Structure formats: C-alpha cells, structure tokens
Amino acid sequence: MAEVALTFVLTLTVLGATDLASPAGFAGIAIGFALALVHLIGIPITNVSVNPARSIGPALFVGGWALAQVWLFVVAPLIGAALAAGVQRMLHRGAPRLAAREAERALPLQQAERAGAT
C-alpha cells in the first residue's frame, strides 16, 4: 500500500506541475520536493522504490528473496501511477487540451515573447 500511495503522490505531482495551467519553470522544484518527501516517508517503511527499474536492478544482483518480491515493486507503482492519472483526468475534465502540434507552434512564440521582455 505504501508503494501505491507514494507513487500516486509523486505521479500526481509530476502531472500537476507539468500541466499547461501550471507556471512555467517551477515544475522541477515541486517534483524535487515531492520525490524527497516520498523517499523520506517511504524508506523506513519499504525501502521505497516508486520506480520499477530501480527495484529490478538490485533484485537481479541479490537474487533469491529479492527476486521473489520484485513483482510487488513493479505492480504497485503501476497501480499508483494509473490512479494518479485517473485523478488528474477527473480534476481537469473540462479544461481545454492543447494538441501536440499546437504546442510545438506555440513554443517559439512564447520564447520570442520572453526574449523581448528581458
């Protein structure tokens, strides 16, 4: 449960911080604080992973009991991330979406505006 909950918090933070409605340039701060908080809470509980790749590598080296439990450290973050994606989608149900092509066209315009403002 800890892996699911902590991955949920981290993923929801990433999705929220990188949303179009979020202020540009501050996503790294929010994500960094969330990642630090997740690890401070989770390390005493489960030696938190919140990243399946981080769990698989050490389990391959340790073998035995670690390989027998690695499924949990793969499945739990996937569940937490899926829940966070669902919550994010529900929170922003009516929000306008920007297509990838529109975002690519908008980026040079925003950069030009910022360059002119400095």
Topology adopted by domain 2-117: Glycerol uptake facilitator protein (1.20.1080)
d(CA 3, CA 5): 6
Give me the mean pLDDT over the 32-59 stretch. 88
Task: Taking residues 89-116, report their average pLDDT.
Answer: 71
The rounded mean pLDDT for the chain is 84
Per-residue pLDDT at 66 = 83
The residue extents of the domains of the chain are 2-117
Give the 3-state DSSP-derived string for the chain, with helices as H, strands as E and coil as C: CHHHHHHHHHHHHHHHHCCCCCCCCCHHHHHHHHHHHHHHHHHHHHCCCCCHHHHHHHHHHHCCHHHHHHHHHHHHHHHHHHHHHHHHHHHCCCCCCCCHHHHHHHHHHHHHHHHHHC
Question: How many C-alpha atoms does 54 have within 13 Å on its Cβ side?
Answer: 8
User: Quick one: average pLDDT of 88-110?
Assistant: 73
